[in-house]
Amino acid sequence: MNQQLTTREMLMLDEAIRLSRTMTKFAHSCAQQVNDPQLRALCQQIAVDHNNDLQALSRYTGNRNY
């Protein structure tokens, strides 16, 4: 990214990354606990989607350890 992010933008980005990480873990946990195959697959897909969001957001922060 060519532009510098403001402190506020970085804080918001950090919060979005933390939320994506939390949602990824939660969806993985749900997938492990449910018995219905369709619901398990849905939870796994949600986890993948949130992890993809996490990776995309991390690129804007210089790939700090998230």
Q: pLDDT, tens digit, for every residue of 15-44? A: 999 999 999 999 999 999 999 999 999 999
Structure tokens at 9: 């933008």
- Rounded Cα distance, 58 and 37, in Å: 31
Residue 43: CB partners within 8 Å, gap ≥ 6? 27, 28, 30, 31, 34
For residue 66, pLDDT beyond 70: no
Q: What is the DSSP string of 8-66?
A: HHHHHHHHHHHHHHHHHHHHHHHHHH---HHHHHHHHHHHHHHHHHHHHHHHTTTS---
